[in-house]
Amino acid sequence: MGYKVVFTDHSLYGFADAGSIHMNKVLQFTLADIDQAICVSHTSKENTVLRSGISPEKVFMVPNAVDTAMFTPSPKRLSCDEIVIVVISRLVYRKGADLLVEVIPEVCRLFPKVRFIVGGDGPKRVRLEEMREKFSLQDRVEMLGAVPHAQVRSALISGHIFLNSSLTEAFCIAILEAASCGLLTVSTRVGGVPEVLPDDMIVLAEPAPGDMVRAVKKAIDMLPGIDPQIMHLRMKKLYSWDDVAKRTEIVYDRAMQFPTTNLLDRLPRYLTCGSWAGKLFCLVMIINYLLWRLLEFLQPAEGIEEVPDIGPLHAHLSSKNDF
């Protein structure tokens, strides 16, 4: 239809298993015809380029951000007489729920002062409930169930440490929310997570029970030097949705500068997606194009005023509040 296309990729997939191979073919098809792409981390950008074959010059890194006005620390600093570790996540395999089943009992055994708050729901919740029963941790592991986003802050400010056990993450906005609330983060070293926070705000570990327990111990030792209010102020400087919007607009402006190509010029791009997939993608695009032209002929877009190109958005705004 001649539209300019900007694709935003928040995913991280592998290269070997059947599901990933299928998704990579779909991504190649999707990105064969885009003008620009946005990824949320450098790791995500590298993954997208390798999976799709798109030129790296077309892919830009624009991170996520956090609403620091919503995620604020508790006005009163928590005592360290009892250390509370908070987990808020979908309880599924990809989020490392099975890892939690092994880490939590060992941490409770080594540190009698530690208590866990687990928020979230999913198919792996049963395993966590069974773990709690098996090790008699009902008094030390509180299961909140699903936590609405509006109540996430209330759960976070009840703790000292945020534990993220994900097995794959392009970015992980959850650790931004936790850091904005003043929590020290312990996380698996996967995907784009190492890019998100400075070293003194996060303790990274391999996605293995022993290394996760070691990281929790290190975080507990670091707690006396953590000031939640200072951490919150640092997050306000590091991440802003206003900054994300400005950087995203630059990418869209760049896409508008690319020349429009017709279908015949674009078809060869789909052939590069594979010996059989390329031919299939070409056929799909030809059918879609013919269907669109038929619908245009049967019901022409009469009386629809074309939206004028007004140039960059920031040129029309007089203040940050307008933005």
Taking alpha carbons only, the member of 94, 150, 154, 90 closest to residue 125 is: 90
Question: pLDDT by residue (tens digit) across 251-288?
Answer: 999 999 888 877 887 788 777 777 787 888 889 889 99
Question: pLDDT by residue (tens digit) across 132-167?
Answer: 999 999 999 999 999 999 999 999 999 999 999 999
Question: Was domain 83-239 assigned CATH 3.40.50.2000?
Answer: yes
226 alpha carbon, distance to own chain's centre: 25
Q: Partners of 99 in the beta sheet?
A: none
Question: pLDDT by residue (tens digit) across 25-75?
Answer: 666 666 667 789 999 999 999 988 888 778 899 999 999 999 999 999 999
Decide which of 88 and 274 is more confident.
88
DSSP state of 71: S
Q: Strand, helix or coil at 59?
A: strand
Q: Considering the chain, tell me which residue range(s) the CATH 3.40.50.2000 domain(s) occupy.
A: 83-239
Q: Is pLDDT of 105 > 50?
A: yes
Q: What confidence score (pLDDT) does residue 18 get?
A: 47
Q: Is pLDDT of 308 > 70?
A: no
Q: Is pLDDT of 207 > 90?
A: yes
Quick one: which H or E segment has residue 98?
helix 97-110
| HEC readout, 161-218 | EEEECCCCCCCCHHHHHHHHCCCEEEEECCCCHHHCCCHHHEEEECCCHHHHHHHHHH
For residues 137 and 108, the answer to whether their CB atoms sit within 8 Å is yes
Q: What confidence score (pLDDT) does residue 313 get?
A: 58
Q: What confidence score (pLDDT) does residue 305 get?
A: 64
Q: Is pLDDT of 99 > 50?
A: yes
Cα angle 179-182-188, degrees, rounded to a multiple of 5: 40
Question: pLDDT by residue (tens digit) across 230-249?
Answer: 999 999 999 999 999 999 99
User: What mean pLDDT is reported for the chain?
Assistant: 88
Decide which of 247 and 304 is more confident.
247
DSSP state of 304: P
Sign for the pseudo-dihedral over CA of 135, 140, 144, 149 = negative
Q: Which two tokens stand for residue 313?
A: 């958005």
